[in-house]
Amino acid sequence: MSRQEIESFQSEQLVRSVAQAAKSPYYASKFKDFGVEPGDIRSRSDIGKLPFTTKEDLRLSYPTGMLAVDPELVVRMHTSSGTTGKPTAIFHTREDVENWAELMARCIHMAGCTAKDIFQNMSGYGLFTGGLGLHYGAERLGMWVIPAGAGNTARQILLIRDFHVTAVHATPSYAMHVAERMLEGDDPKSLGLKYGFFGAEPYTEEMRRKLEELYGLKVFNSYGLSEMNGPGVAFECPQQNGMHIWEDSYYVEIINPETLQPVPEGEVGELVLTTLRRTAMPIIRYRTRDLTRFVVGDCPCGRRHARIDRMLGRSDDMLIIRGVNVFPSQIEEVIMRHKWLGGNYVIRLSKKEALDQMTVQVELAKGAFDGSVESLRNQRAELARQLREQVGFSVNIEVAEPGSLPASEGKAKRVIDERE
């Protein structure tokens, strides 16, 4: 689609989507309270007339207050992972499920996969959207799909090898864990994987490079959230420079979370999304709390759907330590530069005499310790220096044996806050 085609399609779909949302009890009253009627929305330029939707709205409307169709038309529901409280339920009609599969197939195809590829989904199935979401998309493309699910690392490796899997989907933290388990007696490169679709949690460019080197594959960042179906919202093309966000299905805004006004193009703000094609449960101007920016300019791949940058984090992920704002990604970036360290880490926050303390727990990479305590001490001092430079205060470092920190099968829990 050209820009013009995308934008006129967005206008049509926004009008439809708002009218559809108004059929749900929750939006009917929310629009009324806000003083807006579906008829006030005539094109995409009217988006600012609509109220935002927050996680709190989803909680208030739980379980079915935002359902906009006869329950008979619902064929599926999912929930968000509920890492920040009670889960929220999302509903789909048959057509919604088909559209989602089409978006997901589009992502996988964009990466370069075809029906000839063999795909293993290492993501949890069930209510979590990373299972069925990727599954339906890959099947739509005609791929041979192995629904391995999460965990059971030895079996994952066995299946990849025996069935000559070429593409996998996982969280980056789990993909790292699998690679490191293999390094105990084998080489992840020997698996012959070509494509890694890694997402569902934030990770840095440095983590991507490390995964690419370990496996010898190409990593495609995959972004989505259950409120917007799940995966299939934004995905990288082979340029690996920002994720194309499917604007025929989502209206995209990036706002300043304080003023709620759009940020200047290219600046970081909160991503706000409106579903344009969903019928069972349209969501209007959803405040994702994810922080990103538009990648300015046309993508050399030729697609005209906007690109968003790798997530900087969530606004509620930001740590305030001794009054300094720190994102876990800033710590990850430094750790990944150190070849003597593995890919897993934990950030622990505690208090000592009323002063915040940050301890970063890292693991030695397999075979990295050459027996010289002296060189280990130097490497550690260099890590401490770089972390201090990154955050502006001293950080304690604990170096653990390879494989000794808790590994995750899904979204990693990177921060443990014991300051209370």
For Zn ion, give the closer residue by CB, 311 or 347: 311
202, 282, 328, 342: residue in contact with ligand AMP (rule CB under 6 A): 202
C-alpha closest to that of 88 among 124, 60, 126, 51: 60
Beta strands in 23-157 (DSSP E): 74-79, 89-93, 118-121, 144-146
Binding partner of 387, given ligand AMP, Zn ion, none, CB within 5-8 angstroms per partner class: none
- Residue 200 engages ligand AMP in binding (rule: CB under 6 A): yes
d(CA 329, CA 350): 19
Tokens of 376: 């280990």
Can you give the three-state secondary structure of 80-95, one letter per residue? CCCCCCCCCEEEEEHH
Stretch that binds ligand AMP, among 108-116, 193-201, 325-333, 384-392 (CB under 6 A): 193-201
DSSP classification of residue 24: S
Stretch that binds ligand AMP, among 51-59, 139-147, 221-229, 273-281 (CB under 6 A): 221-229
The DSSP-derived string for 248-277 is TTEEEEEE-TTT-SBPPTTS-EEEEEEESS
Crossing angle (nearest 10°) for helices 94-111 and 129-140: 70
End-to-end CA distance of the chain: 52
Binding partner of 237, given Zn ion, ligand AMP, none, CB within 5-8 angstroms per partner class: Zn ion
d(CA 177, CA 226): 25
Binding partner of 171, given Zn ion, ligand AMP, none, CB within 5-8 angstroms per partner class: none
With CB under 5 A as the rule, give the number of residues binding Zn ion.
5
372 Cβ neighbours under 8 A, 6+ residues apart: none
Beta strands in 204-339 (DSSP E): 218-225, 230-236, 243-245, 250-255, 269-275, 286-292, 294-295, 307-308, 313-314, 319-321, 324-326
Binding partner of 199, given Zn ion, ligand AMP, none, CB within 5-8 angstroms per partner class: ligand AMP
Stretch that binds ligand AMP, among 12-20, 225-233, 299-307, 387-395 (CB under 6 A): 225-233
69, 97, 301, 384: residue in contact with Zn ion (rule CB under 5 A): 301
Stretch that binds Zn ion, among 12-20, 139-147, 299-307, 316-324 (CB under 5 A): 299-307
Q: What are phi and psi of 265, to 5 degrees?
A: -55, 130
299, 365, 397, 399: residue in contact with Zn ion (rule CB under 5 A): 299
For ligand AMP, give the closer residue by CB, 199 or 282: 199
d(CA 108, CA 103): 9
d(CA 400, CA 362): 6
- Residue 80 engages ligand AMP in binding (rule: CB under 6 A): yes
191, 225, 254, 276: residue in contact with ligand AMP (rule CB under 6 A): 225
Torsion of CA 243, 137, 238, 13, to 10 degrees: -40
d(CA 219, CA 199): 10
Please report, as residue ranges, which positions from 355 to 394 form the binding site for ligand AMP (by CB under 6 A).
none
d(CA 311, CA 253): 14
Binding partner of 275, given Zn ion, ligand AMP, none, CB within 5-8 angstroms per partner class: none
With CB under 6 A as the rule, give the number of residues binding ligand AMP.
18
| Binding letters toward ligand AMP, positions 94-133, x by CB under 6 A | -----------------------------------x----
| Binding letters toward Zn ion, positions 212-251, x by CB under 5 A | -------------------------x-x------------
Shortest distance (Å) from residue 311 CB to ligand AMP: 4
41, 311, 319, 331: residue in contact with ligand AMP (rule CB under 6 A): 311
- Residue 110 engages Zn ion in binding (rule: CB under 5 A): no
124, 133, 230, 242: residue in contact with ligand AMP (rule CB under 6 A): 230
314, 331, 343, 402: residue in contact with ligand AMP (rule CB under 6 A): 314
C-alpha closest to that of 409 among 149, 78, 227, 191: 149
Stretch that binds ligand AMP, among 144-152, 197-205, 211-219, 380-388 (CB under 6 A): 197-205
Residues that bind Zn ion (CB under 5 A): 237, 239, 299, 301, 303
Residues that bind ligand AMP (CB under 6 A): 80-81, 129, 199-202, 221-226, 230, 288, 290, 311, 314
